Amino acid sequence: MNELEALLFAIVRGKTETLDLPSELIVFLDASSSETVDALLEQFREEESITAVGAATEANLAGFTGLQQDFSVLPNPGNPGSPADDIPPGVRFLTVMGQFFTPGFTWISSTPEAHLRVIGVDTGDSLLLVTLEAPPDDFEQLVADADKILQTLTPVEP
């Protein structure tokens, strides 16, 4: 990320239709401001710009257990975008993500009507949030590819 306020690690690929920005993301960040994994997922369920797809299920990441849930970004045809600000048309601001960044930094969906998988795990020292995001037609392939990456993660001693 070229934003110092973001404080995250992302693996990206693809390209949005209108701007030279990635369309598929695997994002890792510290979500310890949420007290529990349940509270974290509830915050996503309350986000007005997305809707839950199915129920939360158990997740395991590097031996840590947690929960995951899929979401779909609601259509936003009235958003013309802003090429100067790297904002594609039709995307939505995801306000739930703002709590994890420096004030003033905002997070937008990468593409209109993107699909998300939100994974939260409690590592004991912190709450790790991993989000997978892709356009609807690419989401299942991203999930399959990301799973191969996520299964290789192992905890290390500090």
Domain ranges within the chain, ordered by starting residue: 9-146
> Are the beta carbons of 131 and 110 closer than 8 angstroms?
no
Question: Is residue 138 predicted with pLDDT exceeding 70?
Answer: yes
pLDDT higher than 60, residue 120: yes
Handedness of CA 21, 81, 139, 116 (dihedral sign): positive
pLDDT tens digit sequence for 79-110: 999 999 889 999 999 999 988 887 777 899 99
Note the pLDDT of residue 35. Answer: 87
The candidate with the shortest Cα–Cα distance to 3, out of 103, 149, 78, 83, is 103
* Residue 54 confidence (pLDDT): 95
In the predicted model, is pLDDT for residue 132 greater than 90? yes
Q: Residue 99: its pLDDT value, please? A: 87
The answer, yes or no, to whether residue 33 has pLDDT greater than 60, is yes
- Decide: pTM greater than 0.85: yes
Residue with tokens 């960044």: 101
Residue range 37-68, pLDDT digits in tens: 999 999 999 999 999 999 999 999 999 999 99
Supply the DSSP symbol for 135: -
Is CATH 3.40.1000 the right assignment for the domain spanning 9-146? yes
